[in-house]
Amino acid sequence: MKKTKLPGENISLKTKKSEDPLIMLWLNSQSNLMDSLRYLVENEVAVNGVRNLQAFVPMERNRLQSNSTLQQESESRPPLTGAQQVAAAIVEVSAAANDPIPNHKSAPVAEEEIDDEDIEAWS
């Protein structure tokens, strides 16, 4: 049986080894990751109520079109701060939303291995 989370308790998150570079860019751009995730959850609950997203989320999805040029640019430029981060994020999100790549197929995603450390963190 899954343990009920209580306010103030820690939660454990782990990225996939094959995580989309845009997700990693977003994660690394957050100055307060938990508050950013809380904001996304608040929006989800406001729009759809409390629900188990796994009942609605497709197992295979390509909402983000990975772009190696974007990743290379982000690795080669110095870190942005403050308003520069906000402006860059808006440009990246707008570009991804308004410039879909037709017939884009991402590489197959390998199954993520679950180890004993993961299981302990879930308990």
pLDDT of 102 reads 45
Please, which residues have CB within 8 angstroms of residue 105's CB and are 6 or more apart in sequence?
62
Domain contains 43: yes
Residue 115, in any domain of the structure: no
HSE-up (13 A, CA, CB side) for residue 18? 8
d(CA 51, CA 55): 8
Q: Which residue blocks in the chain are alpha helix, DSSP H?
A: 21-29, 33-48, 68-76, 83-98, 116-122
User: Could you give the number of structural domains in the chain?
Assistant: 1
Kindly state whether residue 87 falls inside one of the protein's structural domains.
Answer: yes
Q: Is residue 102 part of a domain?
A: no
The reply to whether the predicted model has a pTM over 0.75 is no
Segment 71-98 shows an average pLDDT of 60
Instruction: Tell me which residue has tokens 């197959």.
Output: 108
Taking CA atoms, 121 is separated from 4, 10, 21, 53, in Å, by 14, 10, 25, 21
Question: What's residue 122's pLDDT?
Answer: 61
**Alpha-carbon span 16 to 109, nearest angstrom:** 10
- Which pLDDT tens digit goes with each residue over 44-82? 999 999 999 999 999 888 888 645 445 545 555 566 566
Structural domain harbouring 25: 21-96
pLDDT digits (tens, 9 = 90+) for 6-22: 999 999 999 999 999 99
